[in-house]
Amino acid sequence: MDTLNAAEILSALGHESRLSIFRLLVEAGPEGINAGAIGERLEIQPATASFHLAHLTRVGLIKGKRESRFIHYSANYETMDDLIAFLTNNCCQGASCLPKTVEVNSVTKRRRAAS
């Protein structure tokens, strides 16, 4: 991931509604949630929600899958992973910058080892 690409993704997440949408989709898991439910849950008008969903889709943070009349949106973890890797590699270089993240990852690793 280059700087321009990273900036685009960061910018997409740099809006309260879009960040909330992404968090909601992460919480929802791989089945996803349909557009209407997202708007209802976060109190965003349909047209506005659609605008933000399109934006998040464009930068690859989420994806939509049509299921009859509904479109189920779900998080694209790869893009978020790439972003975190970019920040970790390029924005903490050589610095003592990762105590909290290391702690979190230790938990993640333990969970993986257990499952």
Partner DNA sequence: TCCATTGTTCGAATAGTATCAAAATATATG
Partner DNA sequence: CATATATTTTGATACTATTCGAACAATGGA
Mark residues 79-98: x for contact with a copy of itself by CB under 8 A, - for none: -xxxxxx-xxxxxxxxxxxx
Mark residues 46-85: x for contact with DNA by CB under 7 A, - for none: xxxxxxxxxx--------x-x-xxxx--------------
Q: Does 104 bind DNA (CB under 7 A)?
A: no
Helix/strand/coil (H/E/C) assignment for every residue in 17-82? HHHHHHHHHHHHCCCCEEHHHHHHHHCCCHHHHHHHHHHHHHCCCEEEEEECCEEEEEECHHHHHH
Q: Does 110 bind a copy of itself (CB under 8 A)?
A: no
Q: Which residues bind a copy of itself (CB under 8 A)?
A: 3-4, 6-16, 19-20, 22-23, 26-27, 29, 75, 77, 80-85, 87-102, 104-105, 108-109, 112
